[in-house]
Structure 1
Amino acid sequence: MENRIGTAGIAMVTIELDNEFIWHAMGDKYKTPKSTSMGTYGTHRGLTRILDALDEWGVKATFFIPGVAVEKYSEKIMEIDKRGHEIALHGYAHENFHDLTEKEQRMKIRKGKQGLEDLIGKEVRGFRLPEGECTWETMRILREEGIGYDSSLFDQDLPYLTDEKLVEIPMRWELQDFPYFAYGPGFPVGEPRIACYDEVLDNWLRELKAAYELKLCYVIKFDPQTIGSPGRMFLFEQILRELKEKNMWIATGSELEKYVREAKMV
């Protein structure tokens, strides 16, 4: 993979447009106006800021979106597509795939994928698990349902081809905004304080520096409801600035899948 990476490493900027569905999936106690509003803030306010920043820095991102969002936020999804970003699948209603039977998993993947494809008129190649686990059958089902790459696991620093012939683009917990900033009634367990912005940025920049120097794949994940507030957008923009200044290959999931398959990496 070194020929394409050159001396700069790879980066994949990913956005999870979870809307209110991430909260509703946690149980009935979160299906309330207050919890719902935390998710819809990202949809109606944070998303626009993110899209504008991506335009400003000339970065194309991969948006992982629950299939059910097509029913409520079709215009938002079409705007993301119109601006040239990739649309990928994030479950159907942000369900925990570990709790589903093989038949139920297949139905959720198929329904969500078809809904997104019908809306944007393009093939959906990518998938990322919603928060939660999966089963040993999940990756095989994804491949059988036409998914080409997944970005859910934690076992490598570079994309690779799995036994199921999926391209896996590994991620990291510390390169996600939700664990640092999400806060709700009883979430997270123990309800620690929301993280200091500067300390979070320091974590992200240290990992970026290491990926750059070691020619690895830097996969960072943002959710508009947690990063899209006025005071946090500087974190997002600083990451984009560093990626551009380091001249890293900022790829979409489909671009990484294509490269891995052509390079026949294992």
Structure 2
Amino acid sequence: MPLNLPEGKRFAVNIGADFDAHAAWMGSFNLTSPSYLSRGEFGAEVGVPRILNLLRRHDIRATFCTPTHTMATFPEQFRTIVDAGHEIAAHGCYHEAVPTLDPAEERRLMKVTLQHHEKYVGVRPRGYRSPAWDFTALTPTLLDEFGFDWDSSLMGRDFQPYHPRPVVTLDRENGNTFGEPARFLEFPVSWYLDDFPPTEYVPGMNSGFTPINALLEQWIAQFDYAYANEPNGVLCLTTHPQCIGRAHHITALERFIEHVAAHDGAWFASLSEIYDVWTEE
């Protein structure tokens, strides 16, 4: 069950941008002071234009995973992403903490999310990325029920897509039991390929002061390994406009893109474009 990349391509790279704006602070951290909300505003007003300019210069189509709260709060900035031709994937309603939701509320918020995608994007999303990369036991069922092609929230692989299996029985003495694989395809993520933990300062939670050259070296090392050892694989880089949009961070992202582009057969694509070259055979 491999990816069959376009002729001349040997490895796929997705530049993902989680355009959380205010929602990340309100939903994941329950932080609503003017200082925190201003960071989300920076992501919308400064980070998004910088990312779009960078992607345009390098002719890259990215995947913007966007809470619908962001679409409603910053409609003009969101429209620039849509008009630039980038993919819009579901990323919750208000960056809600999915594992804390009861089944009825999780289902309700999924319906609200899809309704708002139809309102602000014009179409339903093909892919989903859970806020903070976590599920409930119900989440895979909802993704299959509502017809998502792919998810990008789990970490059961690093560079190969797969169909995730739920753990249906937890047994500390005799081993856990898996259920049947999901219909949707999983594009694995990694905290090592996410800019938020090393770059965003949250007092008491997150140091956020990793030197940018160290972060860039880590991203390059992972790409170099995958390019050499994981043919027809995919690397999913996760960025956030309020993080990667800072001057020294956007410069590092461009250096990463230039490093990847210098390799024969490297293919930058949206996650749905990558999904479309998957085969079950």
TM value normalised by structure 2: 0.87
The aligned counterpart of 1:34 is 35
Specify the alignment match of 1:166 in structure 2.
184
- Structure number having the greater helix percentage: 1
Note if 1:235 corresponds to 2:248: no
Q: Classify 1:3/1:173 alpha carbon distance in 2 versus 1 (closer, same or farther; 3 Å).
A: same
CA contact (8 A) 1:96 1:134 kept: no
- State yes or no: 1:122 paired with 2:137: no
What letter matches 1:176 in structure 2?
Answer: D
* Partner SS, residue 237 of structure 2: strand
Q: Structure 1 residues 36 and 206 mapped into 2: Cα distance closer, same or farther (>3 Å)?
A: same
Aligned match of 1:217:
234
Is 1:25 equivalent to 2:27 in the alignment?
yes
**Residue identity in the other structure for 1:264:** E
State the alpha-carbon separation in 2 of the partners of residues 112 and 101 from structure 1.
Answer: 16
Which consecutive unaligned segments of at least 5 residues does structure 1 have?
Answer: none
Question: Is 2:142 the counterpart of 1:141?
Answer: yes
Q: How far apart are 1:2 and its partner, in Å?
A: 5.9
Amino acid paired to 2:280? K
Question: Residue 27 and residue 238 in structure 1: after superposition, are their counterparts in 2 closer, same or farther (change >3 A)?
Answer: closer
Quote how far apart the aligned CAs of 1:202 are: 0.3
Percentage of matched positions with identical amino acids: 28
Kindly report which structure 2 residues correspond to 1:1-266, keeping only aligned pairs within 5 A, or say none. Answer: 1=2, 3-4=4-5, 8-28=10-30, 30-131=31-132, 133-156=134-157, 157-162=159-164, 163-188=181-206, 192=207, 194-214=209-229, 215=231, 216-246=233-263, 247-260=265-278, 263-264=279-280
Relative to structure 1, is the Cα distance of residues 98 and 54 closer, same or farther in structure 2, using a 3 angstrom cutoff? same
Report the RMSD for the aligned CA atoms in angstroms. 1.7
Distance in 2 (CA, whole Å) between partners of 1:119 and 1:138 is: 23
CA positional deviation for 1:251: 2.0
Report the Cα offset of residue 234 of structure 1: 1.0
Sort the Cα spacing of 1:124 and 1:175 in 2 relative to 1 into closer, same or farther, 3 A.
Answer: same
CA shift, 1:121, in A, is 1.5
Partner Cα distance (1:226, 1:208) in 2: 21
The alpha carbon displacement at 1:134 in A equals 1.5
SS of the residue corresponding to residue 15 of structure 1 reads strand
Q: The residue matched to 2:248 in structure 1 has which SS?
A: coil
3-state SS in 1 of match to 2:131:
coil
Alpha-carbon separation, structure 2, partners of 1:212 and 1:205: 10
Please say if residues 133 and 153 of structure 2, whose CA atoms lie closer than 8 Å, have aligned partners that are also in contact: no
- Find the aligned partners of 1:10 and 1:200 in 2 and give their Cα distance: 20
Aligned length: 259
Separation (CA, whole Å) in 1 of partners of 2:27 and 2:183: 30
Q: Which amino acid aligns with 1:22?
A: A
